[in-house]
Amino acid sequence: MDRMNEQEFIKQVDRYLNGEMEGAERAAFELHCRENTAAAEQLATHRLFLLQLKEHAHRVAFKHTLAAAAERYHAGGGSAVERTEPLIVTLWNKFKVNSLVAASVAILAVFSTLWLSGYYKAIEKTSTNYSALRRDMNDVKKNVNAQNAVIRNINSGKPRDDRSVGSFGGTGFVISANGYVVTNYHVVRGADSVHLQNTKGESFRAKVIYIDPTNDLALLRINDSTYAPLKSAPYTFKEAPSELGEDVYTIGYPRDEVVYGQGYLSSRTGYAGDTTAYQISIPVNPGNSGGPVLDSKGNVIGIISGKQTGIDGASFAIKTEALLKSIAEVPQDSLESDLVISKKNALGGLKRTEQVKKIQDYVYLVKVY
Amino acid sequence: MSKRKSIVPESDAATLAGVASGDAGSLEGLYRDYFPMILNMVVQNNGTEEEAKDVFQEAVIVLYDNVKRRDFELTSRLKTYIYSVCRRLWLKQLGSKNRAFRDVAAYEDVIVVEEDLALHEEKDLQFTLMEHALDDLGEPCRTIIHDFYISNLSMQEICEKFGYTNSDNAKTQKYKCLQRLKKLFFSATK
């Protein structure tokens, strides 16, 4: 093939490859290539070369676009080198949540352990030296009583009485002979039922009709068909402040028998300067709470409420003045009959033994279940 | 190899299409999504930011070369592919410079990309040859060839552009240029 022919041939190939040939011409060209191996080879080479040429061009274009894109991206400031944090920071970030959880679990464990072990109760206990004199009839005694009852039942063959044993005990005394009795609020606190037992061993059901937690007072009403109203109480109530050194005594139930205690008024204020109470020097024990404090003339000057732990002879009695004020607050609607507070003193001039004999019928053992 | 289920997310497929057509937006997207990861890898392994840019750019071209292949199929997430390619490229570069490589363990998944890189190298070689051939060809031949074969201009237009008096002259000139280019290219290949 000479040069002119080759040039012409390439021209035809270009037209052929560009799809510019039509019908007969195209068929003729294809026939020519099939018959002529040299032409066919030239066609293949040319086609391949053009392919490479085009690929090259595309690649150039692509690189251009890529470079432009890279430049735009890097110019956008998105290429800041990532900070490589120190190991300790990485670890902290990784285990932050875990350590916080662990810390809160530890705190929880510490405080719940302290709480469970009674640490806070101990603090509360040591922070106050005041001790309310409610008698706790403990489990041992309860068990012993139950056992004794069983033994008695075996011996006697009698059916076992269903009277359960009181959990707490205190003292109460008649304020109005038609069935009203006062005691301390802490004695009847949380009571399911309250029973009053007199010195003869008779027991009456009673109802708490008024409580005054601030002054630690409660008003009960005997609510029992077997109760026969008493004559009016032999003692009167003295609201005027009593003098230091006054000879005073109390009657209460620190055990199941009535117990007499004697002493003197030692301070006009109660625990921590409480002006609604006296400090008296009478040996009192749990169970004395709610008992009346009387002077030598048979006037009730207060009501035993507690004592200071760790100090000998420091007992406290709520003043009669506070008692009467509190009683006056009782809503009249809640009373079935009027409170009749005795105005006539039948104890003046009597010997102490006589006084006590008369008073003891009006002092009850308060049993709380 | 058995038939693989396509695990390529839609977004990756779209990006690949964009790369194949040389879409600037897709390329910028590649940078936005993957360049920080590569930058980190290179910088943590004795490299500079500039080197990271080079590595990433080459990786995108590797991707381009392979996407152009008719039977190309992504066998992992695009992220993994790019990371693997860049890691390979950077290792090679470090090996040639005797610098240490301490890739952070399990930093990213790595897949085998040797074949793809081989293809890229072959294309790169051809590209370089063609580039040299075109350079040696010189002007105005280069432009004439480009205009006719790539831009698909007619001989008449080329004639006017270069001020040839008649199109026959232009045709002869084009033919001569093409023959010379072929000679340059094929002699270099052999």
Of these ranges, B96-100, B129-133, B164-168, the one predicted with the greatest mean pLDDT is B129-133
pLDDT value for A105: 95
List CB contacts (< 8 A) between A53 and chain B: 130, 145, 149-150
Which pTM value belongs to this model?
0.44
Residue A265 bridge partners (DSSP): A280
CB-CB under 8 Å, A69 with B126: no
Out of A50, A62, A67, the one facing B64 most closely (by C-beta) is A62
Mark whether A361 is an active-site residue.
no
Q: Rounded mean pLDDT of chain B?
A: 79
Q: Rounded mean pLDDT of chain A?
A: 81
Mark whether A289 is an active-site residue.
yes
Checking if the pLDDT of B22 tops 90, the result is: no
Tell me which residue of B22, B40, B95 sits closest to A83, measured CA to CA.
B40
Out of B22, B30, B35, the one facing A62 most closely (by C-beta) is B22
Q: How confident is the model at residue B95 (pLDDT cuts 50, 70, 90)?
A: confident
Vertex B116 angle, CA B111 and B122, to 5°: 155
pLDDT value for A51: 83
Q: How confident is the model at residue A160 (pLDDT cuts 50, 70, 90)?
A: very low
pLDDT value for A339: 81
Vertex A332 angle, CA A329 and A335, to 5°: 110
* Torsion angle defined by CA atoms of residues A182, A183, A186 and A189, in that order, rounded to the nearest 10 degrees: -60
| Measured distance CA(B34)–CA(A73) in Å, rounded | 12
CB-CB under 8 Å, B150 with A73: no
pLDDT value for B66: 85
pLDDT value for B102: 65
Checking if the pLDDT of B105 tops 50, the result is: no
pLDDT value for A103: 94
Q: Which of A143-152, B30-39, B157-166 is the least confident region? A: A143-152
More confident residue, A194 or B143: A194
Element (H, E) at A140: helix A139-156
pLDDT in tens, B173-183: 778 888 888 88
Tell me which residue of A279, A273, A298, A271 sits closest to A362, measured CA to CA.
A298
**What are A227's two structure tokens?**
């109760």
Q: How many residues does chain B have?
A: 190
List CB contacts (< 8 A) between B102 and chain A: none
What residue in B sits closest to A59 (Cα-Cα)? B127
Q: How confident is the model at residue A125 (pLDDT cuts 50, 70, 90)?
A: low
List CB contacts (< 8 A) between B104 and chain A: none
What is the rounded average pLDDT of the residues A10-17?
78
Candidates A47, A59, A60, partner chain B, best to mutate (most B CBs within 10 A): A59
The Cβ of residue B139 has, within 10 Å, a number of other Cβ atoms equal to: 7
Mark whether A56 is an active-site residue.
no
CB-CB under 8 Å, A66 with B27: yes
Distance from CA of B3 to the nearest CA of A (A): 30
Q: How confident is the model at residue B189 (pLDDT cuts 50, 70, 90)?
A: low
pLDDT in tens, A288-323: 889 999 998 889 999 998 888 777 778 899 999 988
Residue A211 bridge partners (DSSP): A218
Distance from CA of A69 to the nearest CA of B (A): 5
Tell me which residue of B38, B48, B25 sits closest to B79, measured CA to CA.
B38
pLDDT value for B2: 39
| Set A131, A167, A289, A326: catalytic member | A289
pLDDT value for A364: 92
Q: How confident is the model at residue A163 (pLDDT cuts 50, 70, 90)?
A: very low
Distance from CA of A88 to the nearest CA of B (A): 17
CB-CB under 8 Å, B35 with A52: no
What is the rounded average pLDDT of the residues A237-250?
90
Grouping H, G, I as helix, E, B as strand and the rest as coil, residue A79 is coil
CB-CB under 8 Å, A81 with B43: yes
CB-CB under 8 Å, A78 with B32: yes
Distance from CA of B130 to the nearest CA of A (A): 7
| Measured distance CA(A221)–CA(A181) in Å, rounded | 6
The Cβ of residue A159 has, within 10 Å, a number of other Cβ atoms equal to: 7
Q: How confident is the model at residue A101 (pLDDT cuts 50, 70, 90)?
A: very high
List CB contacts (< 8 A) between A82 and chain B: 36, 39-40, 43
The CA–CA distances, whole Å, from A15 to B65, B88, B154, B167, B168 equal 28, 44, 11, 16, 16
Among chain A, residues having any CB pair with chain B shorter than 8 Å are 7, 10-11, 18, 45, 49-50, 52-59, 61-63, 65-70, 72-74, 78-79, 81-82, 84
Tell me which residue of A187, A291, A170, A353 sits closest to A280, measured CA to CA.
A291
pLDDT value for B82: 87
Tell me which residue of A286, A285, A246 sits closest to A268, measured CA to CA.
A246
pLDDT in tens, A173-196: 998 888 899 999 988 888 888 999
Out of A59, A61, A69, the one facing B127 most closely (by C-beta) is A59
Contacts of A89 (CB under 8 A, 6+ apart): none
Residue A164 bridge partners (DSSP): none
Element (H, E) at A65: helix A37-75
B53 touches chain A (CB under 8 A): yes
What is the rounded average pLDDT of the residues B155-165?
76
| Measured distance CA(A74)–CA(B56) in Å, rounded | 12
Give Cα A315 distance to the centre of its chain: 32
pLDDT value for A250: 92
* Residues A260, A356 contacting (CB under 8 angstroms): yes
pLDDT in tens, A326-363: 888 888 777 777 888 888 888 888 888 998 988 988 99
Checking if the pLDDT of B72 tops 50, the result is: yes
| Measured distance CA(A58)–CA(B67) in Å, rounded | 13
Of these ranges, A84-93, B54-63, B174-183, the one predicted with the greatest mean pLDDT is B54-63
> In sequence order, what DSSP letters do the residues of A237-249 get, joined into one string?
E--SPPPTT-EEE
List CB contacts (< 8 A) between B145 and chain A: 53
| Set A186, A295, A326, A342: catalytic member | A186
List CB contacts (< 8 A) between B31 and chain A: 69-70, 73, 78
Residue A341 burial (C-beta neighbours within 10 Å; 0-12, 13-18, 19+): middle
pLDDT value for A4: 52
Checking if the pLDDT of B3 tops 50, the result is: no
The CA–CA distances, whole Å, from A137 to A152, A207, A255, A289, A369 equal 21, 21, 10, 14, 10
What is the rounded average pLDDT of the residues A220-224?
88
Pairing of strands A247-252, A236-237: unpaired
More confident residue, A128 or B13: B13
